[in-house]
Amino acid sequence: MGTWDSMTMISQSGRLHVLRLFCVLFVIVSLATPCFAEETMAIIVNRGNPISGTSEELNHLVARIFLKQQKDWPSDISCRTYDREKDSLEHQQFVEHILKMSEGRLLAHWGKMKQVSGETPPRVIRSSSILLRFIAKHKGGIGIVKHEEVKKLPSSIKVLFTF
Amino acid sequence: MSRVVWCVGLPKEIQWSQSFFLSVLIMAWSLLLGFPSVGWTAESGTGFAEIEAQLESMQQRIESMRLRVDGLEHRNQDGAMNGSGDQSSKERYEELSERLEAQEDLSQELDEKVGSRAIVHAFDAMQLDFGGFLHSAFTHIHGDQGSASSFDRLTFEILLKAQFSRRFSAFFAQAFIRESNTRFTDTYQRTSPGFTFSGAGGVKTPLVIAWANYRHRDELNLQVGRYITPFGIINIEHFPAILLDTEQPQFLRPFSGDTIFPNFITGAQAHGKFFFNDDTLQYNVYTGVFTGSTPEQFYSGARAAYTVGTLGTTFGLNIGTGKRSLTTTAPDTTSVAKNATFYMYGVDVLIDKGPILWKTELFMTDEDKGAGGNRVGFYTQPAYRVSDQWIVFYRYDFLDDGKLQIVPSSGGPRRHTPGDSTEHVLGLNFLPVPNVRLRATATWKEFSSGRLGAPNANAQIFQLSGTFSF
């Protein structure tokens, strides 16, 4: 009888271990899930712009250009930056993931730029199709579109990177 | 056999009918039995031919059905193509609608902004941006011997940026100021607070900035005109709309002064930026004259600042040299010092990372003996962004002003310098909207050694200010 009880206890203990293991795995998987988040936005430029580089380099470059800290592309093409509406997903995702700042910090940046050197924020474009026309027209143009809009890009525009 | 016997005994009509039915039965049975014999005949050559004919007919029908199905499939495909065409048209329609809506919004906005008013054109600029700010402050000072209050600051400044071409631009800042300066009226300027107008009735209209810039590349810009001396952190930021405190650190006071170095100079500078992935190296090399001094006195210097992007930290090095035109009666000299040469060295560190905004600057001068003692200015100002609207900060600020009694050649109220002084400033910024900055600050000021015979003294200064920019 004692042997039976001990076997039962071992069996229950084993189940507990399995349950704990399952819980731990569940937590790990839950935490890991955001890593698989899909890229939803794309930075687009004129195809005549020969810019290239690693994702990290391009990320820093685009942030500097958008903030007008850098005014020329490395190929000496003058930058023409276009923003999207403040409430749009494109703008919000860009500020959060590329500029890595809050909307308030961004406004403070433009306030400082305006006072110190007279620089103003990029022009805001509401319609994707109008944005595409601008970027197709200007060699130094750069803008943000949703990932699903990439398939509609004309041949004169290319995707620099997605995020 | 029994049937025959049964028939023999019946009448003729009945016998006939029986025979008839019997024959019919026999015939029917014969016929029934005869079908198999017909089937068997089908196995002959004639039967196979019929089956083959039937199969052939079936095959023809199948072929005809297949052709019909193929036809239907083509039709379906055509239909599908027609459907995608509809889809494409729908997408194009939606795109055009979106563009039309955007254009309508734009024209509506323009109409609201412009309406029937005249549109301003620049003569020859590609782009003309116009802005400015209003800055106002109220100050209360409580000293060891009395108190004083005043609305001591009112500045209206217009900013104008003109872009002539891709490479040429110009920037202007014209100020209209009504202000009074804090002044302690006792002999040693430490105990009896008060205010005195600067300029005629406190009115000044300085052309603060007016430069033209040629941008060869981001790495090389050439600038001529009147510009902010590119030294340190706060002097470059300069404008009240972006400063946390109503008063700049002591070494930058008074406005347009040269306590450590001139706040503004008129001359030329080369400046630019080099980018290294997330880091940036910025430089300025400049020369010019300080408008508060005699026109022949040049001030020259250089600044290099390296920003480590990942740390959000900028380290700056500054050097400069120039001449001051001061009339001194310093305790250790009785001669008038004009064209006194001085050298200036400075370091600064700016941390701008997340909610932290921390500025620190240290500047020292090496003055000619005739110009009095060397000067030291130091402050450290940590600030915390509670949110995008609320910022709190503290500043420790020390100034050794050279232990001089100075009358600037440009005139003004500073007939004596107060000696060493330290300020502890505690402040709060509130930005209800990004263009409006409201401040409340409390300053504990300590006058310590630095002037012969001057007693130590304290003062408390409370300020409320607002800057409204557009």
pLDDT grade, residue A7 (50/70/90)?
low
Q: Any chain A CB within 8 A of the CB of B104? A: no
CA distance B337 to chain A (A): 35
pLDDT grade, residue A12 (50/70/90)?
low
Nearest to B246 by CA among B384, B402, B140: B140
- Residue B120 clears pLDDT 90, i.e. is over it: no
Of B99, B171, B241, the CB nearest to A117: B171
Pull the structure tokens for residue A75.
């190929």
Alpha-carbon span B346 to B348, nearest angstrom: 7
Domain ranges (residues) in chain B: 1-30, 52-115, 127-469
pLDDT grade, residue B2 (50/70/90)?
very low
Q: Quick one: which H or E segment has residue B419?
A: none
Whether B161 and A118 lie within 8 Å, measured CB to CB: yes
Of A107, A117, A126, the CB nearest to B434: A107
For the domain B127-469, what is the CATH code? 2.40.160.10
Whether A104 and B389 lie within 8 Å, measured CB to CB: yes
Chain A residues with CB inside 8 Å of B273's CB?
Answer: 69-70
Give the residue on A whose Cα is nearest the Cα of B95. Answer: A129
Pull the structure tokens for residue B253.
């006071």
Q: Any chain A CB within 8 A of the CB of B160? A: yes
Pairing of strands B220-228, B207-217: antiparallel
Pull the structure tokens for residue A117.
């050197």
Give the residue on B whose Cα is nearest the Cα of A112. Answer: B242
Q: Please enumerate in sequence order all residues whose Cβ is within 8 A of that of B420, keeping only pairs 6 or more positions apart, or say none.
A: B398, B399, B400, B401, B447, B448, B449, B450
Pull the structure tokens for residue A10.
């071992």
User: Which DSSP symbol is given to B252?
Assistant: G
- Three-point CA angle B195, B198, B202, nearest 5°: 90
Alpha-carbon span B340 to B322, nearest angstrom: 8
pLDDT, tens digit, for every residue of B362-387?
999 998 766 667 889 999 999 999 99
CA distance A118 to chain B (A): 5
ipTM over cut 0.95: no
CATH architecture for segment(s) A41-162:
3-Layer(aba) Sandwich (3.40)
pLDDT, tens digit, for every residue of A136-152?
999 999 999 998 888 88
Of A108, A117, A126, the CB nearest to B105: A126
Of B106, B218, B389, the CB nearest to A72: B218
Chain position carrying tokens 């016998």 = B15
**Which of A132-141, B195-204, B320-329 has the largest mean confidence?**
A132-141
CA distance A160 to chain B (A): 17
Domain ranges (residues) in chain A: 2-36, 41-162
Chain position carrying tokens 């300080």 = B290
Alpha-carbon span B464 to B428, nearest angstrom: 10
* Chain A interface, best mutation among B95, B106, B242, by max A CB count within 10 A: B242
C-beta separation of B301 from B318 below 8 A: yes
Nearest to B388 by CA among A75, A78, A103, A84: A103
